[in-house]
């Protein structure tokens, strides 16, 4: 297996790592109750998705 002869500089290493960071997760507001939720998911607080009841929660029982 070939091995590198010289060490990579800090700048070269950091340029390679620029894309390794995680992006912040996107969020949206539930149109039914206004709570913050992930897009295209059932609202964890009220249980609604696209205007219909999808889950039973303590709040809706």
Confidence of residue 61 (pLDDT cuts 50, 70, 90): low
- Between CA 41 and CA 34 the distance in angstroms is 14
* pLDDT tens by residue, 11-46: 999 999 999 999 999 999 999 999 999 999 999 999
pTM for this one? 0.58
Burial 10-36 (b: 16+ CB within 10 A, else e): eeeeeeeeeeeeeeeeeeeebebeeee
Helices (H), the chain: 10-16
Q: Kindly tell me if the per-residue pLDDT of 57 is higher than 90.
A: no
pLDDT of residue 35: 94
Confidence of residue 60 (pLDDT cuts 50, 70, 90): low
Sign of CA dihedral 44, 45, 46, 49: negative
């Amino acid at each position: 297996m070939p091995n590198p002869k010289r060490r990579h500089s800090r700048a070269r290493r950091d340029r390679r790592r620029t894309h390794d960071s995680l992006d912040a997760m996107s969020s949206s507001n539930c149109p039914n109750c206004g709570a913050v939720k992930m897009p295209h998911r059932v609202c964890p607080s009220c249980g609604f998705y696209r205007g219909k009841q999808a889950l039973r929660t303590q709040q809706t029982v």
